Structure 1
Amino acid sequence: MSHADSDNPYLRDPPTEFEPVDALSGEAAEQQVQQLRAAIREHDYRYYVDNEPLIADRVYDQLFDRLQTLEAAFDLDDPDSPTNRVGGEPVDDLDTVEHTAPMLSIAQSGDAEDVREFDERTARLLHDEGFDSEDIGYVCEPKFDGISIELVYEDGRLARAATRGDGAEGDDVTAQARRIRAIPQRLRGDAPALLAVRGEVFMPKDGFREHNRERVEDGKEPFANPRNATAGTIRQLDPGVVADRPLDCFVYDIMAYEAGDQAGDRPATQWAERDAIEAWGFHVDDLAEQVADIEAAIEYRDSLLDDREDLNYEIDGVVIKVDDIEAADALGNTARETRSAFAYKFPARTEVTTITDIVVQVGRTGRLTPVALLDPVQVGGVTVSRATLHNPGEIESLGVAVGDRVRVLRAGDVIPYIEEVVEAETEDTFAFPETCPVCDSPVDRDGPLAFCTGGLGCSAQRERAIEHYVSRGGLDIEGLGPERIGQLREADLLDSLDDLYRLDREELAALEGWGEKSAQNLLDEIDAASEPPLDSFLTALSIPEVGGATATALAREFSSLDALIDADSDALEAIDDVGPIVAETIRDFFENPDNRAAIDALLEAGVDPQPVEGADAGDELAGLTFVFTGSLAVSRDDAQALVDAHGANATGSVSGNTDYLVAGDNAGQRKQDDADANSVPILSERDFAELLADYGIAWPPSE
């Protein structure tokens, strides 16, 4: 249920030019206050709970400032007003926990004069408290655009993690936090008896781009920006989903501290806190700086604004904090904000340009994605000439057409998207095609999405299906990247999946950039993939809605590919990972004549998917990937079988996708070097046993 009526003027496209306060009557002011409160509550809900904001952050700030101004001018204070609490409420489907200390907001502005006023106010208040107001030092750090999180450690172990929620209590996301590698399970060094820290969970830009690419390939809706991707991930009920997504976390503040017998006193300054946080093993941002005065803080912000586009994470300003913690405590808090810090915001990154054309791309699962071609425009220092429109539902929602003037937003170093139509060229909306632009097959609509029904009979789907089939997410056939696949297709050597198994060494060796050795290496790789595990084969086929976990569940339930193909919807829905929609999608895939012909051709070419043994232990380690080297208490095969039985993957080589390298006695140096090169943690057998114990798994495994 919405907090605001649909005709509330501050809900959608709200005005930000307001009448002067002294021009309002008391009755008009009270009416505007009620509307602003209702709208802000709704915006808080959309932003913090639904993760679907209706307005930009800067517009929200202007509405909030207006509400504060009217309440003060007309003495309209109300305990339930959004100005007296931190916005947002915990979602209902996660347990709610109380924070060790309030997770307050901070005042913010994009105007340097407001920053100077913060400094003057701070000096005045500290002078009144007996501090030397002439010697105020600050710590400056980036203002991360992610999800705030509280991490609580007891005797050095992670005991609880919670989202910000409403500031007093939030959602318990301990299981999710345990799957984020930047968050330590144990603290390093002499840990205090109790430590609660505040950090920001975020998705790096490069990880966001890769994750969105995978979502589109899987026929799923891409996230609009890294923050939405992070918010949608951290609240997942399945922690395995978190493990599969590239989240990171910076920690920057101590919320609670009890020394105990081992640790010393709490650090006396923010800068010393930062050093301690880093020493305990948390990820801290190295761009933070100590500055002597507010002018240096302003210079820091301006410098960071210039470097913003080069960072691998999204920031929307800088945070300026009083360095001395005793002084910060003396400044105290309001009901909503701490008085000892201020956020100096960056300007928004939006520009207006014209749509010159709209093209429709076809993904490997048949998903049709419209892309707007634009008159080139600079957005945040980058030239933008195209923007995703996501799906036909987005086109209808925006009412967009070729020739329209549109506002383009670039949230991070990612494909930009269109925020709104500023000036329509025509009353018409772009007519989405009813047939595939590549193969002319009928287009099916599924809510806001559209799909080509041609399956592997569509050349666009076929080309992308080949790329996926040989990729690490498919059968992991080395030596066949998109460029080489394009070369083979241009030479008429590769038009379908089964053509892979019919490639000729001499024909390959004759191609530019190839030779006898590289040709034979590729054929050996393809031959090794001729008897893939059934779950890997299913993943490689690009079945919509069937990722690795679902493919494994299907392979373990059905004894063979034939059994799966013959399974009806009831049999499919009996599997935990498969609901009615996914079951129908699987049935549609196998009933498509072109898809069946492609599978039959693979089998005729010698592909023989192998059964996958069932697992009966659990999924405690779901999403983790291990590599083993050296001598352990049990054989390497038994170690791999143990982690596999508990939901993890065990591979033979270290890569950027590896979570841990377990190194026993006489461990191979090459794998350890590869681990160092890819920033993969190296665990001794004792470390590995302790990690398993955290998940309730015994090591070594019993006979």
Structure 2
Amino acid sequence: MSLADEDAEENPYLRDPQTEFESADQLSEAEAIEQVELLREAVREHDRRYYVENDPIIADRTYDALFARLQELEATFDLTHPDSPTRSVGGEPLEEFETVEHVAPLLSIDQSGDADDVREFDERVRRELRAGGDANERGDGHADDLEYVCEPKFDGVSMEFVYEDGSLERAVTRGDGREGDDVTRNARTIGSVPQRLHGDYPDFLAVRGEVYMPKDDFQAHNRERIERGEEPFANPRNATAGTIRQLDPTVVADRPLEVFFFDVLEASDLEESHRAELERFPEWGLRVNDRVEVADGADDRSPIEEAIDYRDRLLEARDDLNYEIDGVVIKVDDREAREQLGRTARHDRYAFAYKFPARAEVTPIVDVAVQIGRTGRVTPVALLEPVDVGGVTVSRASLHNPEEIAEKNVDVGDTVRVQRAGDVIPYVEEVVEKGAENEPGSHYELPDSCPVCESAIERDGPMAFCTGGLACDAQLRRSIEYYASDDGLDLEGLGEKTVRQLVDEGLLGSIADLYELERADLVELEGWGETSAENLLAEVDSAREPPLPDFVSALGVPHVGPATARELAREFGTFEDVREAAECDPERLEGVDDVGETVAETIHDFFASESNADAVDDVLAHVSPREADVEDGGDELEGQTFVFTGSLEGVTRSEAQETVEAHGGNATSSVSGNTDYLVVGENPGQTKRDDAEANDVPIVDEAEFRELLAERGIGLE
């Protein structure tokens, strides 16, 4: 009988609880303590019912109300406790994980995908059990009565969980099998990890569990990442591993992790068999998998043949499970026999993994995510059951555009063949089998609105575009990255990772915000210091008077890269004139080299957009693009290539680049073997210096650069 059945009358928060509470400030401390204890007891039981029994007895809203009340009382009366259910919401970020030795080694498992190897395992186990121990006393009982416990082989992250007096003392990653990282604070955020055990539990218990991300939650989480413009995880295991080792527990709390417990590592009171241990786990609140079976030879076949059949049946059911498995684990049930078999340096000799064959190229589409590019282009991405394609695990593939989806009749639920273009980009080649609920010829339809900003999605020939412009967060992030890229203003130190961090921390909500960054805010960020903050601010400051071609290109106007931006600058001379022509006289744009009717229309649409116009105005409040220098200064630097890093004295870096180009030279953004000089100013970036040294490129300071120009009769003012 469970706690909910025994103590419903004594604990009012177990069945049909009232969620109207009197104000906390009306309670005495003694009353608060009593209510907190009852709430903790009830929340633990509701967690067990939900995660272990899969049989909740209250609604989610009711549970949330009880949990919120417990949080309120603990905070008001300072009643926090390490094993309180409220610890599941996370805590302050850690600087690093502590390395902890395991109670018992977390060894790997010998494995094979060949049934004959599984039979050989059985023969070895029986042979060693017959040969071991005192045969006169023991006889051959362990070998003759051998039974196996068969379990799914989870494809997650294996961990050790240690309970002392029923409370979770620590949770440790597998690491090298002997020691791992103490991730207790992260483990407490996982709902199916009990903070405190139930029932008649051992005083000391160390168990092994597998933390995983359910497949449906993984696909939903990946979809969110794609639509936010972030790189999705390759598979659920990578997602789990990346999450459990986050230094910020609140990040872990926001991600959908679960756990199955499957072995006792050490306990103050051991059971005689593995199956008996697994039967006790739910009584203690430890969640076990419902696919576990015992192969005991009861159907007149040998236990190992039953185990092989179990694997084959689980292989057929694999796609219907909501967690990834890559085989089954076959374990000797009797604990005394396990001890006799012992272990090698790498694996326990009482267990064997019978692996599944890798999924190869053909896999079902679980969902479709919509990715928004820098220019608003909508790219549908198929989210797949992870599949092996050329030795690489693939969980997503491009569907390219709406027209191609229609041509191939691709829909969610269809089984498709996946290929990799140039061994890099996965794509859906063809539909192998339509989904059971899909009509022949049916295909996925794009949503009417952008999943990020809710602006309308419009078709343009075979393509589709979000009309939100720079007001769309997905386009914003990529626009900032492009603005700072080699094709934009070449702001060193503002790559994808940094931009994502600054946007996520609320420091960048627009391109214009780059020019309002404060050193004090930057140095507070993880991984930042005084030097990195000052270097970034110097880079941004050097871009307040950019060359007109660089600025036009940096805005990310569709179809306008550096070459087209240069032609526009030469034609119009100032940014005001470029903008006026784009807004009021798009036909005039068609007279510019590299600009045809389609490109001219695209430029007009960009500048005519109200949201884009506002974003550009905000940037112009901080930036004054220089007029284009249309005069040819000569060919004194012809054939010479220069790269600049850091800020120069007396002139901007952009002015120095313009001078080089006006006199026949090239000013590029990255160092290569073709670079003749790297010009280093104040607060230079280390990457370009490293590249220069690697390519034997001469490094000169500003004075040496000015002297080099003067030798050729070129002034720099």
- Using the size of structure 1 for normalisation, the TM-score is 0.45
Larger Rg: 2
